[in-house]
Chains A and B, each alone.
Chain A
């Protein structure tokens, strides 16, 4: 069982606020293998992002257990790298300094680490932009900088929280391929949260479908694509189309249930 990177067991989360308490997640259990790419989809407000926050250790579960490489997650460890919908680059820093931001926080800004970060930047086409400021870069480029900032910390697990949804369609498809490529070649495990079903299908090995709030696991689908195929190619297959119809129906049913 050494191959299991993430182990989530009977996870429950109840949000407290002055007005009420809300059950956000109910009895979530799943496992993720090393180098697997898993997506989480579901109707909006079902707690997709919350699962990532829990796995990264940013928030604590009400009950249940999460282990990443056998350890309870803590943001201070280097196990998880979190990537957000927005690139969150600091506007007053150059691209290079932005890439070092994580290293600075973790107090790992050593020559070797900086070199590694720079080699990533070079490898993924950002070499000429290192001295520029974020405002001078396009949305897709900025998101790539954010990915390199995350990767420079050598996380075992990447948590991707709708990282493409703020981009225009063209850029989104391009960056999808790019990020997929990067994650595969750096041999990372990834969890992607998205509301774009095709995006989930084209990038993942497995897809977890959540129900409406409180989020429960409704279904888990294996995509069964060849590892070598790109997300762009996968989108065009009939297999993707069939899977899309199934997942679409599942989410649609959830929404209808909610209305009833």
Chain B
């Protein structure tokens, strides 16, 4: 309330301008999407481009409704979503723990370095056949693929962030007699918070890649399975529908991380 009363004319104008710009950006974003959808719909309706190869927004809507009624939409989404979430959680958790251990022990960090570099540059999909043989053609293999893709990046990003903490801050803590755990929880962790959240955001994308790639390899169900199946029988409606659902789910997960980021910031700024 105080703030409202103190608003000067120039500040009011500034805020107004700021808000107008924000609304303009949002409107433009929505218009682009709408224009794209309308153009797509019209072009396919009059068969200027083939609706067989390109599907169309209305057909995608029909397919979504149809899949929803038959229960398949929920079924396949839920399978892929759970694989993604499990992979994301395990990889992020273990990755964080490994990063902590490697930060803690200089010896282990130097031992692990070349292994991390090789594992990072290895295309994980190359391990597909091995994973299938070890874990069978099921969800386990898919989750493992997902973990494999996410974990190395997690370790490298978070470890990099841990070790980049200002040396002088650490000297200060040491001059106060801090032990390594105190240094970690009072300096390293709060200092790395931004990077950790950034890693989580990257991991959202990567874990979807991992899950879909896994499903391409072995699945009998899931959105990746729908994509492959749709492609094989030339059902572009199905392919497009699965893609749209994927987009929606990935965005929701991304926003969940963004929300987490906001909560963390609030927590640390108090």
Contacts and interface: CB of A to CB of B under 8 A. Distances in A.
Interface of A: 56, 58, 74-77, 80, 82, 84, 86, 88, 90, 92, 101-102, 104-106, 153
B82 interface: no
A153 to B, nearest CB: 8
B176 A105 contact: yes
Given A104-B186, A105-B182, A105-B186, A88 B177 contact: no
Interface of B: 166, 168-169, 171-178, 182, 186-187, 190-191, 193, 268-269
Contact of B175 (A82, A90, A92): A82
A84 B190 contact: no
A153 B173 CA distance: 13
B171 A77 contact: no
A73 to B, nearest CB: 11
Contact of B176 (A86, A90, A92, A102): A102
6 contacts: A75-B174, A88-B168, A88-B169, A92-B268, A105-B182, A105-B186
A82 B174 CA distance: 10
A104 B190 CA distance: 15
B23 to A, nearest CB: 31
A84 B176 contact: no
Given A90-B190, A92-B193, A105-B176, 8 more contacts: A56-B175, A58-B174, A75-B176, A77-B177, A82-B175, A82-B176, A88-B166, A88-B172
Contact of A105 (B171, B178, B191, B269): B178
Contacts of A153: 176
B168 A92 contact: no
A58 to B, nearest CB: 6
Nearest to A75: B177
A84 B168 contact: yes
Contact of A92 (B173, B174, B190): B190
Nearest to B183: A105
Contacts of B174: 58, 75
Given A90-B190, A92-B268, A105-B182, A58 B175 contact: yes
A189 B171 CA distance: 22
Nearest to A91: B191
Contacts of B182: 105
Contacts of A105: 173, 176-178, 182, 186
A90 B177 contact: no
B175 A75 contact: yes
Nearest to A82: B175
A90 B187 contact: yes
Contacts of A77: 177
A152 to B, nearest CB: 11
Contacts of B166: 88
B264 to A, nearest CB: 11
B172 A106 contact: no
Contacts of A102: 176
